[in-house]
Amino acid sequence: MGVFHLARGYLALVLHAHLPYVRHPEHEHFLEERWFYEAVTETYIPLLQVFERLERDGVPFRLTVSLSPPLVSMFTDPLLQERYTKHLDRLIELSNREAERTRGTPFHDTALMYQHNFHAARRTWHDTYGRNLARGFRRFQDAGRLELTTCAATHGFLPLLMVNPEAVRAQVAVAVDLHRRHFGVAPRGIWLPECAYAPGVDQILNEFGIKFFFTDTHGVLYASHRPRYGVFAPLYCPSGVAVFGRDTESSRQVWSAKEGYPGDFDYREFYRDIGFDLDFGYIKPYIHPDGIRLHTGIKYYRITGTGDHKEPYVPARAVEKAAIHAANFMFNRQLQVDYLSGIMDRPPVIVAPYDAELFGHWWFEGPQWLEFLIRKMHYDQDTVELITPGDYLERFRCNQVAVPCASSWGNKGYNEVWLCRANDWIYRHLHLAAARMTGLADDYPSAGGLLRRALNQAARELLLAQSSDWAFIMNTGTMVDYAVRRTKKHLLNFLGLERQIREHRLEEGWLAWLEETNNIFPDLDYSCYRSSREKAARAG
Amino acid sequence: MTISLSLFLGAVLAAALLVIFLRPFRRPAGMAKTAGPAFNEEMAAELAVPPPPPAKKPAVPALELPAAYGLDRLVLLVRDPYWLYAYWEITATKQEEFDRTYGVSAWQATRPVLRVYDVTGIEFNGQNANSYIDININEQADNWHIPAGRPNRSFCLDLGRRFPDGRFVTLLRSNLVTTPRDDLSECLDEQWMWIEGLYRTYRPQYGISSPLILEEMGAGAGVLPLGISSPGWRGADQDIN
């Protein structure tokens, strides 16, 4: 290509941002909606602010951010925008009161930090992005700073849905369509939910023009043919779609609470929140109206040590640690690249994917760490260059061919987290519903009016039932009731709609109510469920 | 006349109870609508026995998925390199058909068996499996976790009945699946040289992701999907500290 590259290796940082679709118009204070609010305040806004500061200071960077379709749908939903606005206002009010209350205590600096952060969040939310954070991510995509990838429509666990290839095809089709509508271009890459791959999935990705996806380390290492460069170069599946494998070393440094950075004793302690610690009468207006204590996001302690004793958080010390850890991470990547480039005949690419919500929500200092890392990489070295997988593939078009190994990034590396005794019962229903959805799409090929609406809503209910989040939560053993109810409710909605369609007795009132309540994917076209056989017949 | 009058009164009563029953729910519309089709169809039966009024604020109503779909099927899934999972449904029709073919009490006289065929590298026709193992299961089972025990092999499953004389009759046959590898492939591309050093630092380290960090940090506290975790968010039906 004639481009001169100084760097001897590449680092592909990938942030996968996802939350299940938790929008509940039926109730003003729905606990699970707070997942979204907390992640907005603690993760998505802080990340966008990092990008803004880097841009302002003229520090170039290149990151990959995967935005799941449910998350994009929540970013752009007027009801959730309205509710988050109120939520943030209450949080600001609380932080104002806290700034007063803590005066003269060791917590005062931290209280001022929260007050400042939340006010800044309000400016970002209202003034910079007009309450729609999807605009923020698009802005940095258009500026050439982010490569945005999509994810399956509702984060379905694709290997376990492959019993009905049409269901996987629809998960991809709906995601790609939504991504294009919100970000103006088709995604080059996809984050497979839970990094879960099985042979055959790549062929469906290829149908939608997707060029690359990610697997866990062993997805690439255990490929059908031993990969010459390990996980430090992508493979091509026989379908032509590239796969990038996760680097173990860089993952562990960030992910592991014990060995990794987030467990440092100077960092903020997640579990000591004033929602639990403060006097009930004082905190009552800021927790759930039913008096259920919950995380407000204001936490005054640092991890301190392994025991229960906790010392006050000192923001300045934590910032210093984030800088030290960024330098350490960079140093280790330089060593890695130095070593690898000595034994490889092309520059290695280190793929370091993380759940975006780790940054800020779990690891409060994570966004600061990321900012330090990017600045240091720009100013202090030229061994490692930030790259996205799409860019890498443009520079290195020739890659080894092999079939990746079926795998996931969940506990034990395969499908067990999502297929165990706690959740195995869901698959008989999910598979049956998927088969029936394809039956409907085949039998009603060009429906209009009310029938079309019912078919589209049936597809939405099926998609929502397929979220891998429900199976995951059932496995973790907490909030199980919510996950079970969501699974059953969407399945029952689907079965009810299917029956009404088959029996030609659609209830418009109910349909309208479902459309209003489970309003994800307004542009969905149910014909994406048509079977390949039917499609071929129609094309011929 | 009397019957229709009492039916009418019953209808009024049931409707009133329904209103009372649904009002305190947080999510009345969703629940009611979910059950929508059933209400329409089973009106008469519902009216004859109106539900007793709830004593106090009721729990959220249970959602019940169909126990069966009237479809004979046996579906095989891969869990990991060593385990498979299967679920199935056998309709009454299938059962009757079995009795018609093999004698009136054939079903009673036989025992259910899962036959797990290793069909790696072959075009399976029911007879030519590389090997198979039988797993005796109980009559009530409609799913099973199967220790296939072999990575990178292909499997197919029969659900059948075994006669006292050992004869096995297939009722349902599953789809074919292949277990994943759990080690490096022995297939090295001929033209390429193997670079040992690349693997120097690799030790299998599965699941360094949300599940792991949550285990480490969470100590069993409440966990939200994908790294979002918050032990304080509890359902209203759980204890409050």
Cα B206 to Cα A7, A129, A194: the distances in Å are 30, 39, 13
Q: What are the chain A neighbours of B208 within 8 Å (beta carbons)?
A: 248, 251-252, 255-256, 409
Q: Between chains, do B63 and A492 touch, taking CB under 8 Å as contact?
A: yes
The answer to whether residue B211 scores a pLDDT higher than 90 is: no
Tokens describing residue B85: 């999972």
For residues B52-61, give the mean pLDDT.
Answer: 52
Domain-by-domain residue ranges, chain A? 9-412, 421-530
Window 433-492 of A, Cβ < 8 Å to B: 469, 472-473, 476, 478-479, 481-482, 485, 488-489, 491-492
A521: region left, alpha or beta (phi > 0 left; psi from -120 to 50 alpha): left
The answer to whether residue B191 scores a pLDDT higher than 50 is: no
Q: In this structure, what are the phi and psi dihedrals at residue B89, rounded to the nearest 5 degrees? A: -140, 135
Q: Which residue has the tokens 């004859």?
A: B48
Regions of chain A with pLDDT less than 70: 1-5, 257, 534, 538-540
- Tell whether A207 lies on the interface with B, counting CB pairs under 8 A: no
Give dist(CA B162, CA B98) in Å, integer: 12
What integer pLDDT is reported at residue A145 of this predicted model?
A: 98
User: Which residue among B85, B187, B203 places its CB closest to the CB of A226?
Assistant: B187
Neighbouring C-alpha atoms within 13 Å toward the C-beta of A200: 15
DSSP per-residue letters across A58-92? T----EEEEE-HHHHHHHT-HHHHHHHHHHHHHHH
Q: Between chains, do B198 and A218 touch, taking CB under 8 Å as contact?
A: no
- Cβ neighbors of A99 (< 8 A, separation 6 or more) are A108, A111, A112, A115
For residues B38-44, give the mean pLDDT.
Answer: 37
What integer pLDDT is reported at residue B129 of this predicted model?
A: 97
> What pTM did the predictor assign?
0.87
Q: What are the chain A neighbours of B193 within 8 Å (beta carbons)?
A: 228
Give dist(CA A220, CA A195) in Å, integer: 12
The answer to whether residue B130 scores a pLDDT higher than 70 is: yes
The answer to whether residue B58 scores a pLDDT higher than 90 is: no
Window 51-70 of A, Cβ < 8 Å to B: none
What integer pLDDT is reported at residue B1 of this predicted model?
A: 39
Q: Are A277 and A271 in contact (CB under 8 A)?
A: no
Would you place residue B217 in the very low, low, confident or very high pLDDT band (cuts 50, 70, 90)? very low
Tokens describing residue A40: 């907005």
The answer to whether residue B2 scores a pLDDT higher than 50 is: no
Q: What are the chain B neighbours of A32 within 8 Å (beta carbons)?
A: 233
- Residue % of chain B over a pLDDT of 90: 50
Q: Do A9-412 and A421-530 show the same overall fold?
A: no
Q: What are the chain A neighbours of B183 within 8 Å (beta carbons)?
A: 222
Q: Are A241 and A217 in contact (CB under 8 A)?
A: no
Q: Between chains, do A510 and B36 touch, taking CB under 8 Å as contact?
A: yes
For residues B124-139, give the mean pLDDT.
Answer: 96
- Tell whether A195 lies on the interface with B, counting CB pairs under 8 A: yes
CATH architecture of the domain covering A9-412: Alpha-Beta Barrel (3.20)
CATH architecture of the domain covering A421-530: Up-down Bundle (1.20)
The answer to whether residue B219 scores a pLDDT higher than 80 is: no
Give dist(CA A407, CA A319) in Å, integer: 37
Query: Which 3 state secondary structure label does DSSP give B206?
Result: coil
Tokens describing residue A202: 């790549």
Per residue in A483-501, pLDDT tens? 999 999 999 999 999 999 9
The answer to whether residue B77 scores a pLDDT higher than 60 is: yes
Q: Which residue has the tokens 């640092």?
A: A302
Query: Which 3 state secondary structure label does DSSP give A190?
Result: strand
The answer to whether residue B226 scores a pLDDT higher than 50 is: no
Give dist(CA A187, CA A176) in Å, integer: 7
Q: In this structure, what are the phi and psi dihedrals at residue A175, rounded to the nearest 5 degrees? A: -65, -45
Domains identified in chain B and CATH numbers = 2-48 (no CATH), 69-221 (2.60.40.10)
The answer to whether residue B17 scores a pLDDT higher than 90 is: no
What integer pLDDT is reported at residue A260 of this predicted model?
A: 87
Would you place residue B26 in the very low, low, confident or very high pLDDT band (cuts 50, 70, 90)? very low
Q: What are the chain B neighbours of A159 within 8 Å (beta carbons)?
A: 78
One-letter amino acid of B139: E
The answer to whether residue B53 scores a pLDDT higher than 60 is: no
Give dist(CA B199, CA B206) in Å, integer: 16
- Tell whether A256 lies on the interface with B, counting CB pairs under 8 A: yes
Window 38-57 of B, Cβ < 8 Å to A: none
Q: What are the chain B neighbours of A506 within 8 Å (beta carbons)?
A: none
